[in-house]
Amino acid sequence: MTTQGGAPALFEECRIVRAHGRLGRQTAVPLARALAEARADRPGRLLLIVDLSEATFTDCSILTPLCDAWHDCRTRSGRLRIVYDNPATDLVFRCTGLLDRFPAYASAQDAWEGRTADPGAAEPPRRPA
């Protein structure tokens, strides 16, 4: 696999999970299921992009499935990146101290390229494969 510019990809596979509408205690279940399915039977370095750009409401219910997916991706030397621009989503990550773990990406393409919406937010350095 190569990127659009022809450089070798850092990941063996990229999956995108999209969520929309209200993501609260009862409605976050489909997101958790989709995140688990995106990771199932996928060995190797996985880039998992979670697109929350169409989520109209989020609360702390999204944190457990996102943290589980983040941990699984990191265990494989992969990444989980989240697309969002909703201030409420940002507030959930900021108030729980997870903004460094889940910086905002403006689009799935930006997430693929590792370009955060906030240029001052940097991901932790990658460990050599």
All structural domains of the chain:
23-113 (3.30.750.24)
Which residues have C-beta within 8 Å of that of residue 3, sequence separation ≥ 6? 9, 112, 113
Q: Quick check: 36 pLDDT over 70?
A: yes
With beta carbons less than 8 A apart as the criterion, state whether 107 and 81 touch.
no
Give counts: helices (H), strands (E), the chain.
4, 4
Contact in structure between 104 and 82 (CB atoms under 8 Å): yes
Please write the tens of the pLDDT for every residue from 74-103: 998 899 999 999 999 999 999 999 999 999
Which of 70, 33, 50 is CA-nearest to residue 111? Answer: 50
Which residues are within 8 A (CB) of 59 and not within 5 positions of it... i.e. 6 or more apart? 23, 24, 25, 92
- Classified as helix, coil or strand, 39 is helix
| H or E segment and range at residue 72 | helix 63-75
Can you read off the two tokens belonging to residue 42?
């996928």
pLDDT of residue 10: 62
Residue 41: per-residue pLDDT: 79
Tell me the average pLDDT across 46-55: 95
Return the SS3 of 123. coil
